Amino acid sequence: MNFEFTEEQIMLRDSVARFIQDEYDFDMRQQIAKSAQGISQDQWGTFAELGWLSIPFAEEHGGFGGSAVDVMLVMEQLGKGLVLEPYLATVLLFGGLLQKGASAPLQAKYIPKIIDGTCLGAFAYLERQSRYELADVASTASLKGSDYVLNGEKVVVLNGANADHAIVSARTSGGQSDESGISLFLIPLDAHGVQRLGYRMMDGQLVANLVFKDVAVPAAHLVGELDQGLALMQDVVMEANMALAAEALGIMEQLNSKTLEYTKTRKQFGVAIGSFQALQHRMVDTFMAYEQTKSLLYRAVCALTDDEEDAATAVHALKVMVDRAGKLIFSEAIQLHGGMGLTDELDIGHFAKRLMMINTTFGNGDHHQAQFNALRYN
């Protein structure tokens, strides 16, 4: 039994924390959010230099060979800084799919470019109708000669507006919601027949809808087995959910500590509002919600690291907790800041919006609770 991090892990965590503190304060973050690209190439270059883009990749591709714990530590700090650069989309999703499913030549071609910061990736899986069902895929890819021809539309693609490459899910056989028959393809987004429509989300993300019209994809760009893409997606999404939860935990910590600080300094009726017991109990509740989330996060990370059978159960439980605890924490943070909490200028609302979007990424609380129920009680 050991909840200590290794010296290396502590160094990694502190290096991200220091960077956020020195180079990525809230003003800088807002400046980046308002820029045309919505992310900063300079900052991304720094991430590459500091080695953060290499963390989950195998050493043979120049990676750091890191573990789920390393990813967790980085994501928690990125959450604290509300970092906009596409770590999730490029490194964990696009990179994760390559690492786990792509052929050796594809890995050799793209992973080093992710690591040196020259490839921005995306995972295009959502469709208008699909909500939280990964298996609901209406886009199609059919074999024509030695190429596949891809048709369909993907929506709210994270990093979709800036990515140069995407891994796209498409149906190669079966009906729209069948578990088998989904395949994944790596597609350069400047390919003929790809149209992108970029738009902004409330958490500062610049996403895109991608429309594919008869896009030719060489068979060599298949990622994973033909028709067996779902299992690969689920595997990568499970780890991504853990990473999102870590990001959420960093945000929760910020919201709680900033709110606590505010209630100690804001005075009404001649006293600090933190002296009112009605508010004290609520801050105790948000403190407990944070600690419980942290415990489930650690539980999920341990299960993932040891490849335990119940890793999926732990991750579903975690995502439910992130949803419930997150809503409690950001609602209280806004409420206890009074009018100030309602302003765009203050960071509180921006932390809240990122938590909200995390909750809708790869399934909200109710979705994961249903999955949890199915695993535990059916």
Ligand X SMILES: Cc1cc2nc3c(=O)[nH]c(=O)nc-3n(C[C@H](O)[C@H](O)[C@H](O)COP(=O)(O)OP(=O)(O)OC[C@H]3O[C@@H](n4cnc5c(N)ncnc54)[C@H](O)[C@@H]3O)c2cc1C
Sites of contact with another protein (CB under 8 A):
126, 128-129, 131-133, 136, 153, 155-156, 177, 197, 199-203, 205, 209, 267-270, 273, 276, 278-279, 327, 331, 334-335, 338-339, 341-345, 349, 352-353, 356-357, 360-361, 364, 366, 369-370
The reply on whether position 272 binds ligand X by CB under 6 A is no
Give the β-pairing of 222-223 and 182-188.
Answer: antiparallel
Q: How far apart are CA 301 and CA 314, in angstroms?
A: 9
| Residue selected from 137, 255, 273, 321 as contacting ligand X according to rule CB under 6 A | 273
Tokens representing 266 are 């804001």
Q: Is 311 exposed, middle or buried (0-12, 13-18, 19+ CB in 10 A)?
A: buried
Q: Is 362 helix (H, G, I), strand (E, B) or coil?
A: coil
Interatomic CA distance for residues 201 and 196, integer angstroms: 16
The piece of 16-24, 165-173, 205-213, 265-273 that touches ligand X (CB under 6 A) is: 265-273
**Span of 16-24, 114-122, 159-167, 267-275 interacting with ligand X by CB under 6 A:** 267-275
Number of residues that bind ligand X (CB under 6 A): 12
Q: In angstroms, what is the minimal distance from the CB of 287 to another protein?
A: 18
Residue span binding ligand X (CB under 6 A) among the ranges 42-50, 220-228, 273-281, 306-314: 273-281
Joined tokens for residue 358: 């995390």
Residue 349: contacted member of ligand X, another protein, none (CB under 5 to 8 Å, by partner type): another protein
What are the backbone dihedrals phi and psi of residue 209, each rounded to the nearest 5 degrees, phi first?
Answer: -90, 135
- 98 exposed, middle or buried (CB, 10 Å; 0-12, 13-18, 19+)? buried
Nearer to ligand X, 1 or 278 (CB): 278
Nearer to another protein by C-beta: 79 or 117?
Answer: 79
| CB-nearer residue toward ligand X: 143 or 202 | 202
**Complex with ligand X: residue 59 or 344, whichever CB lies closer:** 344
Distance CA 300, CA 307 (A): 10
Which residues are bridge partners to 123 per DSSP? 167
Contact of 359 with 333, CB cutoff 8 Å: no
Q: Which of 261, 306, 338, 366 binds ligand X (CB under 6 A)?
A: 338
Minimum separation from the CB atom of position 151 to another protein (A) = 16
Burial of 59 (0-12, 13-18, 19+ CB in 10 A): exposed
Output the CA–CA distances (angstroms, integers) from residue 325 to 58, 240, 248, 373, in the order listed.
34, 19, 10, 19
Nearer of residues 21 and 335 to ligand X, judged by Cβ: 335
Give the residue, chosen from 2, 146, 265, 268, that forms a contact with ligand X under the rule CB under 6 A: 268
Query: Taking CB under 6 A as the rule, does residue 62 contact ligand X?
Result: no
Nearer Cβ to another protein (68/208): 208
The DSSP 8-state label assigned to residue 92 in this structure reads: I
Residues forming contacts to ligand X in the complex (CB under 6 A) are 266, 268-269, 273, 276, 278-279, 335-336, 338-339, 342
